Amino acid sequence: QVQLVESGGGVVQPGRSLRLSCAASGFSFSSYAMHWVRQAPGEGLEWVAVISYDGSTKDYADSVRGRFTISRDNSKNTLYLQMNSLRAEDMAVYHCARVVNSWLGYWGQGTLVTVSS
């Protein structure tokens, strides 16, 4: 079955960097676009970034553009999110998600990023 397992979250100071990973299994990872979605504590869902199946196309929410970079390694079935210049408002649970046709059909449990001095 499809499994998405995020890792790499933790406590980081404002202005510092962090890299999240998402290990995928149970499907042909290299055939699907992948997304990151985040949810700040007590807040709603926010779409963050997407990468096409082959990594050739990437797009970002305006709130993270220029600071975050999405990437993937299809040989390792792994999705990444490099987060630079972190701000307090980036504090959230970060989920990776896989599209099914036109919707986000599979979600990982998420990894918590805490931005605090």
Partner 1 sequence: QSALTQPRSVSGSPGQSVTISCTGTSSDVGGYNYVSWYQQHPGKVPKLMIFDVSKRPSGVPDRFSGSKSSNTASLTISGLQAEDEADYYCCSSAGGYTYVFGTGTKVTVL
| Residues in touch with partner 1 (CB under 8 A) | 33, 35, 37, 44-47, 50, 52, 57, 59, 61-63, 95, 101-105, 107-110
For residue 63, give both structure tokens: 């709130």
Q: Which is nearer to partner 1, 75 or 103 (CB)?
A: 103
Q: Are 43 and 55 in contact (CB under 8 A)?
A: no
Query: In angstroms, what is the minimal distance from the CB of 13 to partner 1?
Result: 27
C-beta closer to partner 1: residue 101 or 117? 101
45/88 with CB nearer partner 1 = 45
Contact 5, 107 (CB under 8 A): no
For the beta carbon of residue 4, count every other beta carbon within 10 angstroms.
22
